[in-house]
Amino acid sequence: MDKLQYLQTDYIQQLEALDINTSPLFGKMNVHQMIEHMSYAFKQASGLVPLAPLNDETTTQKMYAFMMSDKPFRDNTPNPYLPDEPDAPTHPSKTESIVALQQDIANFKTTFETESDKRILNPFFGNLNFDEWTHLLHKHAQHHLRQFNANI
C-alpha cells in the first residue's frame, strides 16, 4: 500500500480505534489534540498555513536528508511554531476531528492534482513536492501513533 492510500484509509481506521483516554507515552497532547494537530500538518502541506523557513540552506539540506530517511522522529521533537501547551481542540468530538482530518487529507491531494510540479515550503525541510510531503506526513503520522502506542 502506498503512503497516501495508507493515510486515507488505515491511518484513519487506527485513529478511529484509538481510545480517546489513552495516555501519551511522550508529549503533552491528548488523542483529540493529536488528531487536530495532524489536520494542521495537512493544511500546512496544502499551503494553507504558510510558515517562514527557520534554517539556513545547509541545515535545511541535512534536515531534508533525515526527513526522507526511514528514521523516525525522536520523542518530544521540538517545534518552535507550536505553543508550549497544546491548543484545545476546535471540534467538540474525536469523531468530528477525524472527519475534518479526512477532509484535510483530501484537500492535500487536490492541491497537487492540477499542478504536479508544485512545491510548498516546509519551514524545516524546504520546498517539498507531493511525494516528499506525503513521505513527511506518513512519518509524522507514525510518530504520533507511536506516541499513543497505536501503530502496532
The model's pLDDT over 13-50, given as tens digits with 9 standing for 90+, comes to: 999 999 999 999 999 999 999 999 999 999 999 999 99
Say how far apart CA 144 and CA 148 lie, in whole Å: 7
- For residue 152, pLDDT over 60 is answered with no
Smallest CA-to-CA distance from 4 within 35, 37, 32, 42 is with 42
Q: What is the largest CA-CA distance in the chain?
A: 42
For helices 94-113 and 10-17, the axis angle rounded to 10 degrees is 170
**How far is residue 99 from each of residues 30, 38, 69, 108, 133, measured CA to CA in Å?**
18, 12, 30, 14, 21
Say how far apart CA 68 and CA 136 lie, in whole Å: 7
CATH for the stretch 3-18+26-74+89-147: 1.20.120
The full set of domain ranges for the chain reads: 3-18+26-74+89-147
pLDDT at 151: 67
